Structure 1
Amino acid sequence: MPDEDYRQLRQHLNQPDVADQPFLRYVLRHKLSTITHNCDGMYEDLVTGASYVTYSVNGDPAQIGLMRHRPRSELECDVIPVCSNLGAALIGMRVGQRAPLLREDGTIASLRVLKVTSAA
């Protein structure tokens, strides 16, 4: 994972509103403890905080979103805030990888990354 994404994840963990979201706090802590980060790497198939990601939840039709650490507006369409349950689960995943997605209602879904494209 790029150093900038790692740094941003650490900042998210210290935000006051994250403390009120136990699932999100857990996912962010777990992500930080299990990922490796560096500034020199190949990230074309890795979900970063500045990539378009195509994903599927429970095998449903594919969805596409733009990952952002700091969404500019709540009105932005198709933006996935990294500081959300979905965004925290997606960041750091690679194409083809599956992971559990903790939902707000306490249920667990299956999340799969289908495609990643750089937003730059």
Structure 2
Amino acid sequence: MTITRIPHLPSGSNFQSLFERSAVETGFLLTVEDGVGTERLLRHCGTKNAPNPPLLIGLLRHKLRISRGAPEPAPPEVVLAGRQVTYMISGEGSRSGVLAMHPVPLPGRVLVASLLGATLIGMRKLQKAPLLRDSGQIHTVVVLDVSPPPDHDAT
């Protein structure tokens, strides 16, 4: 058996650093407020209601590491806590909800303290990302639209 090495293909820790560098370049943007809110969820066990807290904690920490700071005010196409996000998961129809930092489920909310919410925060309209499911499967999520919450007062 002959093993052929593909040139220019990173391996080991080089591959991981390439992935992280690529993720930063293509982009997740967090506002200071969302970064602090995410850290607060981690510090105060806001992930304890998740089906798999250790997995969620790892994802949130990873998101904090690889995200860039969003300009202030954040662009309207960025998914932030308090904004309405319409998204589609591979193999499913579109859904929407307001991204929330709450540690417990609320109707019409997508919690940052969930694998879906942790994936969505910092994404931009039309951006795709891998979505790790509680079952261990990996799907794709795409952000279709971002807007102020429905009860947002424009004044």
The two structures share one fold, judged by TM-score above 0.5: yes
1:18-97 equivalence runs, <5 A:
18=47, 21-38=53-70, 40-70=72-102, 74=105, 76-97=106-127
TM-score normalised to the size of structure 1? 0.87
Any idea what the Cα deviations from partners look like across 1:87-116, whole Å, max 9, x if unmatched? Answer: 000000001111111111111111110000
Structure 2: gaps of 5 or more residues: 1-29
CA positional deviation for 1:29: 0.9
* 1:101 aligns with one of 118, 131, 143: 131
Q: Partner of 2:87: helix, strand, or coil?
A: strand
CA positional deviation for 1:38: 4.8
CA positional deviation for 1:16: 2.9
Structure 1 residues 80 and 100: CA distance shift in structure 2, 3 A: same
> Which position in structure 2 is the counterpart of 1:3?
32
Q: Which amino acid in the other structure matches residue 136 of structure 2?
A: G
CA distance in 2 between partners of 1:94 and 1:38 (Å): 11
Equivalenced residues, count: 118
> Which position in structure 1 is the counterpart of 2:9?
none
CA distance in 2 between partners of 1:53 and 1:38 (Å): 17
Does the aligned pair in 1 maintain the 2:77–2:145 contact within 8 Å? yes
Q: Percent identity?
A: 32
Structure 1: gaps of 5 or more residues: none
TM-score normalised to the size of structure 2? 0.68
Q: RCO higher in 1 or 2 (8 Å CA, sep ≥ 6)? A: 1
**As a proportion of its length, which structure holds more strand?**
1
CA distance in 1 between partners of 2:46 and 2:33 (Å): 21
Structure 1 residues 93 and 38: CA distance shift in structure 2, 3 A: closer
Q: Which amino acid in the other structure matches residue 105 of structure 1?
A: S
Q: Partner of 2:147: helix, strand, or coil?
A: strand
